[in-house]
Homo-oligomer: A and B are copies of this chain.
Amino acid sequence: MNDGDRGSGRAARPKRADARRNEETLLDAAASIFVRSGVEAPIRDIAAEAGVGTATIYRHFPTRADLIIAVYRHQVEACAEAGPALLASSATPYAALGRWINLFVDFLATKHGLAAVLQSDNTGFETLHAYFLDRLVPVCARLLDAAAGSGEIRSDLEAYELMRGIGNLCIGAEHDPRYDARRLVALVIAGLRLP
């Protein structure tokens, strides 16, 4: 946001053109490498794909988390915005919740290794945790509250816990035909239901 200049006081000179260009190139390269080799691909590979030095990546994205966030920001935003929309357009809050969780699973399951990174307690991914949580937990909480309010589900589960559980279930779902994360997630959602 605030493309090009900062909002604070004396305009600190805007980014140089080559820097802006490099950032674009890097995002494209990272997206491409993430698809090919997962979000834990070596920094050097991404740098090579972009045709820049490794330091350039660190300059634009101090941590891997920052890069991942930048690459997937659009999709996360879309997912967050889908929450209220689904709530408005679905027959019941429970139905909305189910659909929204599916959206979330779609997102995670197609991102090679993202789910795993999202759960890792590795220091250095706090930014990533914080971003996902800040953005999506409130959305999930609203859906959960609505469904609890309408008496469809139990009300003793925190959105945070549910989202972490869903995230966990999506780990390693890409490469194992015998494991379908969606089926397990559906089980959790079913278990949420009140008799």
A residues whose Cβ falls under 8 Å from a Cβ of B: 116, 119-121, 157-158, 160-162, 164-165, 168-172, 175-176, 178-181, 183-184, 186-193, 195
Contacts and interface: CB of A to CB of B under 8 A. Distances in A.
A124 to B, nearest CB: 15
Nearest to A180: B161
A50 B176 CA distance: 37
A162 B186 CA distance: 12
Contact of A164 (B162, B179, B187): B179
12 contacts: A116-B119, A116-B120, A121-B175, A121-B176, A157-B183, A160-B179, A161-B178, A168-B184, A169-B169, A190-B191, A191-B191, A191-B193
Counting every copy of the chain, the complex holds 2
B160 A178 contact: yes
A119 B172 contact: yes
A184 B162 CA distance: 7
A131 to B, nearest CB: 17
A186 B165 CA distance: 12
Contacts of A121: 172, 175-176
B168 A169 contact: yes
Contacts of A116: 116, 119-120
